[in-house]
Amino acid sequence: MAHEGIKFRNAADTQEVQRQFSAEALTPKGVRVNLTSGTGVDIDWKDGHRSEYTFRWLRDACPCAHCNELRTKEGRAPGDPEKQSGAPSLLPMYKEPAKPEEATPVGRYAISFRWNDGHQHGIYSWEYLRANCPCEQCRGMGAAEMGKEL
């Protein structure tokens, strides 16, 4: 059965990510979900790296099939905001900032969120989060170089 725009991760894809990063680089030492302050998620990785993800970035990086398809159609990378459709409005509609109402661990490999906009289908694996770390150091190099540097 063919699914346009949906990519299924196979064992080879998973092995490629694991080759690019050490086991310590893909394993969190500590995860803080700052629901009360609304700032985002901080992850300290076992290799010593620290990643900080804003809730807006996480919502725009949702890895579920629907969000991934929309991002692919718009040519956006994970974490890039949605493109505004049409002409800019003088009085744009207020959009409540993205904030999870609940964060839940998914086994020992991921975290999921129930967002204030009702969305709840994304499962953010540690591999996905580390491969898409938004810090300046990681944005400046590809995943292959990150695995070598870390």
CA torsion sign, 118 to 69 to 81 to 12?
positive
User: Does 10 or 66 have the greater pLDDT score?
Assistant: 66
CA torsion sign, 4 to 19 to 113 to 93?
negative
CA torsion sign, 32 to 33 to 35 to 37?
positive
Q: How many domains does the chain have?
A: 1
In a domain, 8, yes or no: no
Tens of pLDDT, residues 83-116: 776 556 666 667 788 999 999 999 999 999 999 9
Q: How far is CA 17 from CA 13, 26, 33, 73, 135, in A?
A: 7, 9, 25, 24, 18
pLDDT category at 29 given cuts 50, 70, 90 is very high
Question: The CATH number of the domain where 50 resides is what?
Answer: 3.30.2020.30
The shares of helix, strand and coil residues in the chain, as percent rounded to the nearest 5, are 30, 25, 50
In a domain, 12, yes or no: no
Average pLDDT for 16-29: 82
Q: Which residue range forms the structural domain that includes residue 58?
A: 25-79+98-145
Tens of pLDDT, residues 119-150: 999 999 999 999 999 999 887 765 444 444 43
Per-residue pLDDT at 104: 96
Whether the pLDDT of residue 13 is over 70: the answer is: no
